[in-house]
A and B are shown apart, each in its own frame.
Chain A
Amino acid sequence: MAQSFTGPQSEAISRKLGDALQPSRLQVVNESHLHAGHMGNPDGAADAETHFRVEVISEAFQGKPMVARHRMVYGLLQHELNSGVHALALKTKTPSEAGQ
Chain B
Amino acid sequence: MRQHRCRRGRERRAHPTGVVHFWAPWSEPVQAHGHRLGQLAKDNPQAAFLRVEAEEVLMCRKHAKLHLCLTSPSSRQASCFTASQLCGQGLSSAAAAEQLTHAAPVILFMKGDRNQPRCGFSSRGLKEFSDWPTYPQLYVDGELLGGSDIIEEMQASGELASTLQEVIRRGTPSTAGTVAPAAAANGHAAAAETQPLQQRLQQLVSRQPVMLFMKGTPQAPRCGFSAKVVKSLQEIHQPFGTFDILSDEAVRQGLKEFSHWPTYPQMYVGGELLGGCDIILEMAQSGELQSSITEMLPSS
Distance (Å) between the CB of A69 and the closest chain B CB?
9
Is B277 at the interface (CB under 8 A from chain A)?
yes
The A30-53 residues at the B interface (CB cut-off 8 A) are 38-39
Cα distance, A91 to B282, chains bound together (Å): 9
With a cutoff of 8 Å between Cβ atoms, the chain A residues found around residue B262 in the complex are: 74, 78, 81
Is A71 at the interface (CB under 8 A from chain B)?
yes
> Contact residue range for chain B?
10 to 19
Cα distance, A66 to B286, chains bound together (Å): 14
Is A87 at the interface (CB under 8 A from chain B)?
yes
Is B193 at the interface (CB under 8 A from chain A)?
no
B278 contacts A67, C-beta separation under 8 Å: no
B261 contacts A39, C-beta separation under 8 Å: no
With a cutoff of 8 Å between Cβ atoms, the chain A residues found around residue B275 in the complex are: 66-67, 70
Distance (Å) between the CB of A65 and the closest chain B CB?
8
The B236-270 residues at the A interface (CB cut-off 8 A) are 260-263
With a cutoff of 8 Å between Cβ atoms, the chain B residues found around residue A81 in the complex are: 262-263
Is B91 at the interface (CB under 8 A from chain A)?
no
Asked whether A90 and B274 contact (CB < 8 A) given A71-B260, A74-B260, the answer is no
With a cutoff of 8 Å between Cβ atoms, the chain A residues found around residue B283 in the complex are: 66
> Contact residue range for chain A?
10 to 19
Mostly, the B contact residues are: mixed
With a cutoff of 8 Å between Cβ atoms, the chain A residues found around residue B225 in the complex are: 87
B260 contacts A66, C-beta separation under 8 Å: no
How does the 8 Å CB contact mask read for A3-22 relative to B, with 1 for contact and 0 for none?
00000000000000000000
Is A75 at the interface (CB under 8 A from chain B)?
yes
The A62-90 residues at the B interface (CB cut-off 8 A) are 66-67, 70-71, 74-75, 78, 81, 87-90
With a cutoff of 8 Å between Cβ atoms, the chain A residues found around residue B282 in the complex are: 66, 91
Is B273 at the interface (CB under 8 A from chain A)?
yes
B278 contacts A89, C-beta separation under 8 Å: yes
A70 contacts B279, C-beta separation under 8 Å: yes
With a cutoff of 8 Å between Cβ atoms, the chain A residues found around residue B260 in the complex are: 71, 74-75
Cα distance, A81 to B274, chains bound together (Å): 20
A71 contacts B261, C-beta separation under 8 Å: yes
Is B105 at the interface (CB under 8 A from chain A)?
no
Cα distance, A66 to B278, chains bound together (Å): 9
A67 contacts B274, C-beta separation under 8 Å: yes
Is B223 at the interface (CB under 8 A from chain A)?
yes
A87 contacts B279, C-beta separation under 8 Å: no
B278 contacts A90, C-beta separation under 8 Å: yes
Binding site for B on A (CB under 8 A): 38-39, 66-67, 70-71, 74-75, 78, 81, 87-91
Given contacts A67-B275, A91-B278, 14 further A-B contacts (CB under 8 A): A39-B223, A66-B275, A66-B279, A66-B282, A66-B283, A70-B275, A70-B278, A71-B260, A74-B261, A74-B262, A87-B225, A88-B263, A89-B278, A91-B282
